[in-house]
Amino acid sequence: MRNIAVWNNNIENNIYRKCICTMLYIINSIIVLFWAIYIIKKEKYNWHGILCTYFFTLLIVDVLEIIFNQLLSFYKFPTFLLSDFTKDNQLGVIFSDGIILPLTAIIFCHYATKKQYYWSLAFIFTFLWHFPLEWVYLKLGYLKYENWSIWYSMLIYLASFRLFGPYAKRVLTYNPPLPYFIRIGSFSYGITAWIGALLGGTLFNLYQWRPMIFKKVGADDRFMDLGLSWTLALLLAIIIPKAVHKYRPLLFMGIATLVLAFAYFSYWQSWLIYHNWNHFYTALRWFFPFIIMVWYDRWETKQNHLLN
């Protein structure tokens, strides 16, 4: 009876621990969200700067995440929300890369534009904010290290904040804005990567990339999906800023058609696997973000005319 009581107590403690971890994810997201909203409303930052900061940060952190998390498996993000570990880790990446870190970048850029003590701000955001958070998540099981150390994370945070500091004003206040090739490249990456992160093989599993580049299914899927997004971002960053404005929608749609053709070719080569998916959905998956890119390009063009 004593062993049964101990076993039941362990189960209750484990459930309580998982609930706390889940709440930490949510609480962290809510804190940075409301902090960012407060700053944006107080300073009346325009949406051009906000989106630029968000998508530029998303591009940078995703590059590091796909290398360290997906490919090398140095650490994982168990959210304890899903039973499948691969899907659970992907959900953790979405929380971290899609919500917490980009919103933290908006907050950091705000203070970096006010007080240009970049090293001081980098130390504050690294050791007074990220260090205690990462330590708590690590102790409660939200974060699991394989071949990693908390000090590696702190070095990356410190270097990132310090390097990012001098460009904070250009990113967030849009005065002057970053070069357009960076803005359109970051936006195009983010809009295509978000759709793949939600619908792809490691979360909703509606479709799955399997080119057999890596043995791990999750790494194979994310590398291919994000690799396409990175390639598109680079291609659009090179082509679109140099194109005449009236021909840009045609260029966007032409590139979308090429990507769609590659997706269909991948399906016939068994590199792309449909689960609850079909060719029509694949067309929507790629043409929809490109339609949003056309709108973004026009929106940014109007803003540039106003600034000039």
- Per-residue pLDDT reduced to its tens digit, 214-267: 888 878 888 899 999 999 999 999 999 999 999 999 999 999 999 999 999 999
Q: Are 110 and 97 in contact (CB under 8 A)?
A: no
pLDDT at position 217, please? 81
Is pLDDT of 12 > 80?
Answer: no
pLDDT tier at 5, thresholds 50, 70, 90 = very low
Measured over the CA atoms of residue 119, residue 122, residue 128 and residue 134, the dihedral's sign is negative
Which has more pLDDT, 114 or 70?
A: 114
Q: Report residue 229 as tokens.
A: 């997004």
pLDDT tier at 162, thresholds 50, 70, 90 = very high
Which has more pLDDT, 75 or 296?
A: 296
Which has more pLDDT, 228 or 6?
A: 228
pLDDT at position 2, please? 45
> What value does the mean pLDDT take over residues 87-102?
84
In whole angstroms, what is the distance from residue 161 CA to residue 165 CA?
A: 6
Q: Are 150 and 138 in contact (CB under 8 A)?
A: yes
> What value does the mean pLDDT take over residues 288-307?
89
Is pLDDT of 208 > 50?
Answer: yes
Which has more pLDDT, 70 or 294?
A: 294
> What value does the mean pLDDT take over residues 187-200?
92
pLDDT at position 83, please? 66
pLDDT tier at 159, thresholds 50, 70, 90 = very high
> What value does the mean pLDDT take over residues 187-196?
94
In whole angstroms, what is the distance from residue 263 CA to residue 279 CA?
A: 9
In whole angstroms, what is the distance from residue 308 CA to residue 288 CA?
A: 31
pLDDT at position 79, please? 64
Measured over the CA atoms of residue 197, residue 295, residue 228 and residue 165, the dihedral's sign is negative
pLDDT at position 52, please? 94
List the single range of 145-154, 182-191, 234-243, 251-260 with lowest mean pLDDT.
145-154
The share of the chain scoring above pLDDT 90, in percent, equals 60
In whole angstroms, what is the distance from residue 154 CA to residue 131 CA?
A: 7
In the Cβ-directed half-sphere of 179, how many Cα atoms lie within 13 Å? 8
pLDDT at position 13, please? 52
pLDDT at position 150, please? 92
Q: Give the E-state strand segments of 2-161 in sequence order.
A: 75-76, 144-145
79 backbone dihedrals φ, ψ, rounded to 5° = -90, -15
pLDDT at position 1, please? 47
Ramachandran sector of residue 273 (left: φ over 0; alpha: ψ -120 to 50; beta: rest):
beta
Beta bridge partners of 76: 144
* pLDDT single digits (tens) 41-91: 999 999 999 999 999 999 999 888 888 887 788 888 776 666 676 777 777
Which has more pLDDT, 290 or 115?
A: 290
CA-wise closest residue to 143 among 207, 214, 68, 215: 68
> What value does the mean pLDDT take over residues 151-156?
94
pLDDT at position 94, please? 86
